[in-house]
Chains A and B, each alone.
Chain A
């Protein structure tokens, strides 16, 4: 799994930062500013590149009783098997420089693949996952799944 990402501040347009109050998410890593997006943060959001536009979208759902799958992650296989038959899943990219799981920050070269689902309240994004490689498991204290990376093998 991947419970958080970091994106260099310079990659986020100023108006997006202001609109979504992202300054509260700015962290200093050895003197360098980045915006972090974690599952535990409220509101729970992710940056998403969709149709060539960078947006900030709600990340999955923490409500168990809604129509949406609970959580922020869906497996690639489930999506292929028709998890979202009632809605129209839209393939998106979650841009990131770093990902985090169990306290390990790892490099992401392009981003993570995701799906955006249209709901009555607007689009929601999920991270796509697949079974973790041995490497990823060792790196993340045995996480059984890993994000689907864009042109990157870990």
Chain B
């Protein structure tokens, strides 16, 4: 298994209770329960209190019966946020791409410290965060977010682990029930059980189509992640992309409008893939064409509503190409640039007609490509560029190396 780039994941152990202990050393070692807004329910408790069977969400009058020696504290989110940002900053010393996933969970583009293994790096991150913030954190490295989170959950508290070989993954997945996966609730687990899927390993080994049928796209993404495919990217909290672009050389000189149109469609498909990877939608689309025997030209199309949908983007791209098109001239390069990127949650617009049918087609297309390889199912319009697609060397190109700008 290649271990060059693993996903890092850090999750503070019983964060609220630990945060209180950081500023009140008196609490070290004592069972601590943090009470919610109204002072009636335990919203978080540390490991010593957990030992007494106190559960999150439990009313205080029940909790204090189970744990009469427990200390109950009013929550203070301002303080928790201060510590949360401190953790984010400390994790940021290890990676430039850190996702602020929740108040006490962070994903990052991982790399092993120079001269250290991933296991040693995990220990280093954990110990550093403890030194710098006083907070205990469990740190895990694995091929995908889902794997890293599962590894961390099983290593708590104050764990430091790395899944660097297939056996470690298999071992972890075998002893972890599917319900341990965030996003697979009891109801989903009940759907899986008749198919003999109980552990995460069962799920990983199941057919992707079956998983999709049972648990929709979300479940399918989890299935891919269990199989080591990164379905959900790291989304750094700062500086999201200002624009995303796809395109490049037209693999020769193109004078024919149909062929150019074929390239346009191909670039839209790749651009959509990229938009969806980053979970953004474009509000502006620019089509730029370079000519062998004329000045480069560009056409800009504004979308009434940010979108990542094929039909809407194609419509906009056609308008852009109309402006950039020089009849009788020889085109050599084409770039499609999406800008005005917006991240969800999406406001359902009056102008973007909800079209479940088109959305469904897009999902199926994505699924087939995921299962049978990139571009196996693509828009019929790209047939004009068929010989290009037939070259396997073109499957992965330089701008597909994510995180860098296309040009």
Contacts and interface: CB of A to CB of B under 8 A. Distances in A.
Interface of A: 8, 29-32, 97-98, 103-107, 109, 134-139, 141, 154
B71 A136 contact: no
Contacts of A31: 29
B73 A138 contact: no
Contact of B24 (A29, A105, A107): A107
A106 B34 CA distance: 10
A contacts with B: majority SS: mixed
- 5 tightest Cβ-Cβ pairs between the two chains A and B: A135-B39, A138-B39, A138-B40, A139-B39, A107-B73
B26 A30 contact: no
Contacts of A105: 64, 68-72
Contact of B30 (A29, A103, A106, A137): A29
B39 A30 contact: no
Of A29, A32, A104, A154, chain B has the most CB atoms within 10 Å of the CB of A104
Contacts of B20: 107
Interface string B67-85: 0111111100000000000
A85 to B, nearest CB: 36
B26 A135 contact: no
Interface in B21-57: 24, 26-27, 29-31, 35, 38-40, 48
17 contacts: A30-B30, A30-B69, A105-B64, A105-B68, A105-B69, A105-B70, A105-B72, A106-B72, A107-B24, A107-B26, A107-B27, A107-B72, A107-B73, A135-B35, A137-B39, A139-B72, A154-B74
B70 A135 contact: no
B61 interface: yes
B contacts with A: majority SS: mixed
B68 A103 contact: yes
Which range holds the interface residue count of chain B?
20 to 34
A54 B40 CA distance: 35
Given A106-B71, A107-B20, A107-B73, A97 B26 contact: yes
A137 B70 CA distance: 18
Nearest to A106: B72
B245 interface: no
A30 B38 contact: no
B197 interface: no
Contacts of B29: 30-32
B61 A106 contact: no
A138 B60 contact: yes
Contact of A8 (B26, B38, B71): B26
B69 to A, nearest CB: 5
Contacts of B27: 107
A108 to B, nearest CB: 10
A98 B26 CA distance: 10
Nearest to A8: B26
B372 to A, nearest CB: 58
Contacts of B74: 106-107, 135, 154
Contacts of A109: 24
Contacts of B26: 8, 97, 107
A136 B60 CA distance: 12
A116 to B, nearest CB: 25
A135 B35 CA distance: 9
A134 B24 contact: no
Interface in B242-268: none
Contacts of A138: 38-40, 60
Contact of A104 (B30, B48, B72): B72
A97 B24 CA distance: 9
Nearest to B65: A103
B203 to A, nearest CB: 40
A134 B38 contact: yes
